[in-house]
Amino acid sequence: MLKRVQQTKARTTGGRFAIVAAKYNGRYVDSMLRAARREFAGAGVEQTVVVRVPGSFEIPAVAAKLAQAHRPPLSAIVCFGVIFQGETSHAQHIGDAVSHALAQLQIDYRLPVIHGVFVFQNPQQARVRCLGTKHNRGREAAQTALAMARVMAGLGTVLDEPGPVLRPRRRAPIARRELQNGPGARAVKRRKGQ
């Protein structure tokens, strides 16, 4: 079931974000891009860099370059593309390759990379998820980017502060009387024939 994108109260975040968006199937991608930019503006984002690429397959290369070279560092990268399934498996291969590459970028650069590249079966699916305001995945992706930027910023303070040293728990010593007279001791004595 398709869930409506929740209206969230935009918290001022500052931060620097990048959006990498495919030109191919531009009607749908442009709508997600506009929705994301509105969400970022409402949240008080300091800077949003938008880079357009020919198609969805080219998104990971640009996202990697942005993750590696951008100074000061980005808070998150949002990626938008729309792919329609045709008669062959080509669209699915493109979608899978992009998904794997974006996931690897997050791990390699420790930077949130928000996946907004969709493989749709038909234009109706894309219309519902990209063109309207009720289910717009561009807005949802921007909300996710803002949330992940807050999470990552919070981790920085947690990881910088010295925390308690965690040691393995020692077993509490069992009182000798419990061993000699407790319920476990009686069961052992019965088995031994005492």
- pLDDT tens digits for 23-59? 999 999 999 999 999 999 999 999 999 999 999 999 9
Between 128 and 21, name the one with better pLDDT.
21
Edge-to-edge strand ranges of the sheet holding 47-53: 47-53, 16-22, 76-84, 113-120
Q: What is the mean pLDDT of the chain?
A: 83
- Angle of helix 59-69 versus helix 90-109 axis, rounded to 10: 10
Number of domains in the chain: 1
Q: What is the CATH number of the domain that holds 43?
A: 3.40.50.960
Is 135 designated active site?
A: no
Stretch 134-146: mean pLDDT? 93
Selected catalytic residue, list 70, 90, 93, 115: 90
**C-alpha torsion angle, residues 82, 87, 93, 94 (rounded to 10):** -30
Residue numbers of the domain that contains 145: 16-160
With respect to residue 194, please indicate whether it lies within any of the assigned structural domains: no
Q: What is the pTM of this model?
A: 0.76
With respect to residue 150, please indicate whether it lies within any of the assigned structural domains: yes
With respect to residue 178, please indicate whether it lies within any of the assigned structural domains: no
With respect to residue 170, please indicate whether it lies within any of the assigned structural domains: no
Per-residue pLDDT of 160-194, as tens digits, reads 655 444 444 455 555 555 555 555 555 555 555 55
Q: Which H/E stretch holds residue 160?
A: helix 137-160
3-state secondary structure of 154: helix
